[in-house]
Amino acid sequence: MNVQPLHGHGHPSARRRPMEGSTGRPRRALWITAAAGLAVDQVTKAVAAVVVEGRQPVHALGGSVTFTAFRNPGAAGSFAPHATVVFTLLAAGVLAFITWASSSVRSVGWAVGLGLLFAGAGGNLADRLFRHPGFGRGAVLDFIQVGHSGIFNLADQCVTLGALTILVQTFRGVPMRAHSAAR
Whether 122 is in a domain gets the answer: yes
Where are the strands (E) in the chain, listed by range? 58-60, 65-72, 140-146, 151-152
Whether 140 is in a domain gets the answer: yes
pLDDT-derived band at 22, boundaries 50, 70, 90 = low
Whether 178 is in a domain gets the answer: no
Q: What is the mean predicted confidence (pLDDT) over 67-74?
A: 88
Choice among 156, 158, 159, 169 that is catalytic:
156
Q: Examine the pLDDT at 75 and tell me if it is beyond 80.
A: no
0.95 cut: is pTM over it?
A: no
89-116 pLDDT per residue, tens: 999 999 999 999 999 999 999 999 999 9
Whether 153 is in a domain gets the answer: yes
- Per the annotation, the verdict on 41 as an active-site residue is no
Whether 138 is in a domain gets the answer: yes
**Residue 156 lies in domain:** 30-171
**C-alpha torsion angle, residues 42, 48, 49, 50 (rounded to 10):** 120
Domain count, the chain: 1
CA count, 13 A, side-chain hemisphere, 160: 8
- Per the annotation, the verdict on 156 as an active-site residue is yes
Mean per-residue pLDDT of the chain = 85
Whether 22 is in a domain gets the answer: no
Strand-pair partners of 71: 141
Choice among 142, 143, 144, 152 that is catalytic:
142
Whether 7 is in a domain gets the answer: no
Whether 92 is in a domain gets the answer: yes
